Structure formats: C-alpha cells, structure tokens
Amino acid sequence: MNILLVGLGGMGACHYNNYQHIEDAAVVACVGKGERDQDAAKAWGIPLYETVAQACQSENIDLVDVCTPTHLHKPLVLDAIAQGKHVICEKPIALKLADAQEMYAAAEEKGVQLYVAQVLQFTREVETLREVVADARYGKPLDGCFERLTACPKWSAGGWLFDKEKSGLLPFDLHIHDLDVIVSMFGKPDDVLFTECAGPGKAYSEQYRFLYVWHSGMNVCAEAAWFNAAIPFTARWRVYFERGMLVCDHNGVTGYADDGTVTQFDVSEPVTVDCGINLGRSGWFLRELTHLLACAKKGEPSPLVPKQRILDVLEIIERI
C-alpha cells in the first residue's frame, strides 16, 4: 500500500514510524505546511507537496492518512476522497456531526473507505474487555468507571489544541478515546450528564466528569482532565459485572471473580515501536495501522471503527 501522509507533527511522525514496521506499507509522499513538516520530509527522504490533489496526481497513492490538527480533517479528507483514495483520519473525525456525515457520504459516493483512528480499539487492554463482555464470564456488566487525566499539555500553549474551534477541547480531544470504548462495549447511552470545572482566568474547562446512563440499568462514569497540576498521565478503567470485576491500570488488566479467582490477562505487545509522542514505545499504533491497511487492501470497512459508532460518539460529544 502506497501511503500519502498529511501533517507531519506528533501523530504524523508516530504513524510514519509505525508504517516502517508494516510489510507492504510505504509512505511515498507527504503534505505539510510548516517548517516542521519540511524538516520531517527531508529527514525521511520523501517528496513534500502543498496539497493532497497535487500529491495524488504526481504519485501512485493507495491511501491518504490525515494527521493534521482536527479542524483541518474535513477539507483534507474530502480532498483525498475526491481523488478516489481510501482514507485514515486521526481522531476525532470532525468537530460537528454534520461534517462527519458529509465525509462518510462522500466516501460512499466515491466507493472508498474512511477509517477513523480510534487507537484504543486496537489495544490488547480493550480487546480483553471486549472478550470479557462478549463471553459474559463474569455475567452482565452493571457499572463502569473510566479515567483519562493528564497535566495540562502546556507545551501546546498558543497552539491549536487550546482553541475550541480547532480541537473541540477536552471532550473532543481527550475524552473521545474513552467514550468510543464505552459506546463500543455498552451501546449508545440513553442519557448523559456532566459537570465541568475551570480555574480562574481559564478560557476552557480543565476537568469534566461524565455520567452515562442506559435504560437497562447500566451506568458509566468517566473523567477527563488537563489538570493545572503536574500529575503523571493516568488512564485507567474498571468494569463491574454481576460476578466479578475487570480492572485496567498500571498493573495491566486484572479480573477479580466473585469466587476469589484472580486472573492477570496477558496484554503484552509482541512488537513495540517508538511512537515519538508521550506514549514512548507501544504496539498500539502498529496494530491499528496494520489492521486498517488490511481492510483498505480489501476495500472493506473496519469492524473495529464502524461508521455508525463514530457518528453516535460525535453526536454525544457535540451535545456536551
């Protein structure tokens, strides 16, 4: 698969590094705007174009991978689709449900696939949760609790991340990771409540606590924050079932059954790649991109990032 990489910042470099480990994947060209993009293209020895159309018309491209700031996803994805290319788009697909619907409609009309890179779906941890929910070894899920907390990413100050029109702030940028998992496991919630807080002078909310409620009786609370406190990055969850609990934290994924059995699930990654972002070495993106390229090669949608769920999640977040 010949790939055109669009946006060569943190995620563009992460995807580039991972493509180097995928047999049959070659990043053959890139599109970028700034000095950082020029430096990366030079370091990687690939041609840099100003637009997706120019790149697609000059190179033999199978798939376009969009890793730009979020507000640019829609025009760039539409450009790629107009060129008849399959597309991988970083999360969140867009900041408005109507935009995402337009993007999927354009892909359907052109007969190409549009994949959203919700990376947690490809992790061993979430795979384990999916299996435990599906095989009901602990019974039905009753309650869940998800956290994704980080010190405020101050290095992005002045950048697009803190501009609501460009990133959508915490709900779209950070919480969407967990909400995508929550909806994939338990379906679309029937009700959503939330609280938010911000310190004095802050132009955005620093912390959100969400409560998702289903008529079935299932409840999930979730928290997302860019705290003005130098805490280590914290991402963890627990799901309580009728006869046990599954916990994902710094110890990996552990199952606690009602009969006293403790199961340490194997979530180790056979191959890890330096992602170049604050995640360090990880197998997450390798699994994600390997899967999405395999789907694209067959011209099929991905069962792990289906259109309807992507739209459901965006609809919920747009209401927040």
Ligand X SMILES: NC(=O)c1ccc[n+]([C@@H]2O[C@H](COP(=O)([O-])OP(=O)(O)OC[C@H]3O[C@@H](n4cnc5c(N)ncnc54)[C@H](O)[C@@H]3O)[C@@H](O)[C@H]2O)c1
Strands across the sheet with 141-151, in order? Answer: 191-197, 207-213, 219-227, 141-151, 234-241, 244-249, 252-257, 262-265
**Alpha helices per DSSP H over 50-96:** 52-58, 73-82
* String of contacts with ligand X for each residue 70-99, x by CB under 6 A: x-x-----------------xx--------
CA distance linking residue 241 with residue 249, whole number of Å: 17
State which of positions 119-138 bind ligand X (CB under 6 A). Answer: 119
The DSSP symbol for 24 reads T
Output 31 or 183, the one with its CB closest to ligand X: 31
> Binding to ligand X by residue 68, rule CB under 6 A?
yes
- Token representation of residue 143: 């309650």
> Binding to ligand X by residue 6, rule CB under 6 A?
yes
Radius of gyration of the chain from its Cα atoms, rounded to whole angstroms: 20
Binding ligand X (rule: CB under 6 A), the pick from 21, 28, 36, 188 is 36
Output 244 or 309, the one with its CB closest to ligand X: 309
* Nearest partner of 145 among 222, 253, 68, judged by Cα: 222
Binding ligand X (rule: CB under 6 A), the pick from 22, 26, 28, 33 is 33
- Token representation of residue 152: 């405020």
Output 162 or 212, the one with its CB closest to ligand X: 162
- State in angstroms the smallest separation of the CB of 135 from ligand X: 28
Q: How many chain residues touch ligand X (CB under 6 A)?
A: 23
- Token representation of residue 36: 């950082």
* String of contacts with ligand X for each residue 233-272, x by CB under 6 A: ----------------------------------------
- State in angstroms the smallest separation of the CB of 31 from ligand X: 5
> Binding to ligand X by residue 18, rule CB under 6 A?
no
> Binding to ligand X by residue 168, rule CB under 6 A?
no
* Residue 174: C-alpha distances to residues 109, 179, 208, 226, 274 (Å): 31, 9, 11, 9, 21
User: Residue 135: helix, strand or coil by DSSP?
Assistant: helix
> Binding to ligand X by residue 296, rule CB under 6 A?
no
Binding ligand X (rule: CB under 6 A), the pick from 1, 3, 4, 11 is 11
CA distance linking residue 263 with residue 131, whole number of Å: 14
Output 7 or 244, the one with its CB closest to ligand X: 7
* Residue 295: C-alpha distances to residues 105, 114, 184, 251, 280 (Å): 19, 10, 19, 32, 27
- State in angstroms the smallest separation of the CB of 177 from ligand X: 7
Binding ligand X (rule: CB under 6 A), the pick from 7, 144, 244, 283 is 7
Where along the sequence are the contacts to ligand X (CB under 6 A)?
A: 6-12, 31-34, 36-37, 67-70, 72, 90-91, 117, 119, 173
